[in-house]
Structure 1
Amino acid sequence: MPHFLLNFDRHLFYFINHDLSNAFFDGLMPLMRNPKFWIPLYLFIIIFSVWRYKKQGVILVVFLLLAVGFADYTSASIIKPTIGRLRPCRDPITGPTDINRVACGTGYSFPSTHATDHFAIATFLSFLFFKRWRWILPATLFWAALICFAQVYVGVHYPLDVTGGAIYGSLVGILFVVGFRNVAPGFRA
C-alpha cells in the first residue's frame, strides 16, 4: 500500500479513535460492533422472511446465510492472511496510542470481517426489498456503516479496513442476490 495512503489511514484512525472520543460513544460503540447485540434483528429477518414469503422465504434465508458464511470465510481465512495487515492495536506505529475499548482481537486487520459480513447482509436485503420498501436501502446502509464506524472507534480496525470490507461485502451480497433470483425467479417482495 502506498505510504501516503497508509499515513492518511493512520491519521483518520487517530481522528476517529481519539478526537471523536466521548462517554456516549464509549458506551454505545462496543455494543454496535457486537454481533450478539444484533441477534434480535437477525431473528426478525429470518422469522419475517419465512412467515411472509413461505417457501421462497426459506430459500431467501438460506441464501442470506450462505452470503454471510461465504463473506466471513473468505474475508477471515483467505484475504486477511494473504494481505497480512496488522490491526491498529498491534501496529508498532499506532499501537502505543490506540485507545482500546474492546479486546484487540486475533488475526489480521484487512479487510474487516465485521464490515464484510454486515455489508453482505445490507446489500442482499436492499437489492431484494428496495422496490417494495424504499427506506430499506438507507436503513441497512446506515446500520452496516455504524458497525464499521464502531470497529474503528473501539480501536480494532483502520478506516481502510472497514472500507475494503464494505466493498467486498457488497459484492458478495450482489453475487448471492443473483444466485437467489436464479433459484427463486418468481420472488416478489
Structure 2
Amino acid sequence: MFDQLLQLDHQLFLEINQRLANPFFDYIMPLFRNRYFWAPLYLFLIVFLVRHYNKYGWICIIFLLITFAISDFVSASLVKPLFERLRPCNAPDFKDEVRSLISCGSGFSFPSSHATNHFAIALFLIVVFYHRWKPILPLALGWAFCVAFAQVYVGVHFPIDVTTGALLGSVVGYITGSTFLTLYTKQIWNTGN
C-alpha cells in the first residue's frame, strides 16, 4: 500500500509539474513561493492589527510570529530529519522527469515547510478573525493553497509533502489561534476599535 501511495504521489506530481505547465504559471508560481512577493500582505497585516487593535494588535503579531516559529521548527527541525525524503529535483531515480523552475535546494522534502508555515498562519488568522470577518476563510486558505501548490509546480516538493505540511500547519495555527482567543477573549478581540 505504501508503494502505491508513493506511485500515486509521483503521478500527481507529474500532472502538476508537467501537464499543467503554461507560460502564466511559469511566471507566477515561482513568485508565490518567494517571501518578498508576499511582503505587502505581511506589512498590511501588521499595519491593520496595530491600527485597529493597538496593544492587542502587537500581541496578535507576537502570536503570529510564535505560530510561524513553531510550525517552522516542527517541520524543518523535527519531521524533515526524521524522514529524510529527497526533493523530487534531487531524487536520483526521479530528477530527470522534473521540470525545475527554481534552484532545487539541498534540504529534505517531507513535509514542505512553506506549506506548513503558510497554513499555520492562515489557520491562526481564520480562528482569530472568522467570527468578525467571514471572507477570511476563503482568502486565507486560498493564499496558503497557492503557496503550497507552487511548491509542486516549480518542482521542489511532492504533493504528499505539501498536503502533510498543510495539515501540520493547520493544527499548529488552530492551536495557537485558539490559545490567543482563550487568553484574549473573543468578545474583547472581535470588537476592534
Using structure 2 for the length normalisation, give the TM-score. Answer: 0.95
Q: How many residues align?
A: 189
State the partner residue of 1:3: 3
- Aligned residue for 2:178? 178
State how far apart, in whole Å, the 1-side matches of 2:103 and 2:75 are.
20
Partner of 1:37, secondary structure, is coil
Aligned residue for 1:111?
A: 111
Matched with 1:17 is: 17
Asked if residue 64 in structure 1 is aligned to residue 64 in structure 2, the reply is yes
Task: Give how far 1:40 is off.
Answer: 0.8
Matches within 5 A, 1:59-138: 59-138=59-138
Match of residue 187, structure 1, among 172, 186, 189 = 189
Amino acid at match of 2:113: T
Structure 2, unpaired ranges of 5+: none
Distance in 2 between residues matched to 1:137 and 1:128, nearest whole Å: 11
Residues 150-165 of structure 1: pairs in structure 2 closer than 5 A: 150-165=150-165
Q: Distance in 2 between matches of 1:161 and 1:47?
A: 33
Distance 1:187 1:15 in 2: 44
Looking at structure 2, the residues matched to 36 and 104 of structure 1 have their Cα atoms a distance apart, in angstroms, of: 18
The Cα offsets for residues 130-155 of structure 1, whole Å up to 9 and x where unpaired, read as 11211110011011001111000000
Sequence identity percentage = 49
Question: Contact between 1:120 and 1:171, CA under 8 Å: does it hold in 2?
Answer: yes
Residue of structure 1 in register with 2:167 after alignment: 167
Q: CA deviation at 1:27?
A: 0.6
The one-letter code sitting in structure 1 at the alignment partner of 2:139 is A
Shift of 1:93: 2.5
Provide the C-alpha distance between the structure 2 equivalents of 1:34 and 1:59, rounded to a whole number of angstroms. Answer: 26
CA–CA distance in 2 between the matches of 1:53 and 1:149? 33
Letter in 2 for 1:162: V
Q: After TM superposition, where is structure 1 displaced by more than 2 Å over at least 4 residues in a row? A: none
Would you say the 8 A contact 2:128–2:178 is kept in 1?
Answer: no
Deviation at 1:174, TM superposition (A): 0.8
Indicate the residue corresponding to 2:30 in structure 1.
Answer: 30
Question: Is this contact kept in 2: 1:120–1:172, CA < 8 A?
Answer: yes
Which amino acid is the alignment partner of residue 175 of structure 1? I
Task: Give the Å deviation of 1:46.
Answer: 1.1
Q: CA deviation at 1:90?
A: 0.9
- Checking the alignment, whether the CA contact within 8 Å between 1:30 and 1:102 is kept in structure 2 is yes
Indicate if the aligned counterparts of 1:33 and 1:147 stay in contact, CA closer than 8 A: yes
Give the Cα separation in 2 of the matches to 1:165 and 1:36: 21
In the superposition, the TM-score normalised over structure 1's length comes to 0.97
CA distance in 1, matches of 2:190, 2:55: 13
2:139: which partner in 1?
139
Q: Does the 8 Å CA contact 2:71/2:120 hold for their aligned counterparts? A: yes
**Rounded Cα–Cα distance in structure 1 between residues aligned with 2:160 and 2:94:** 14
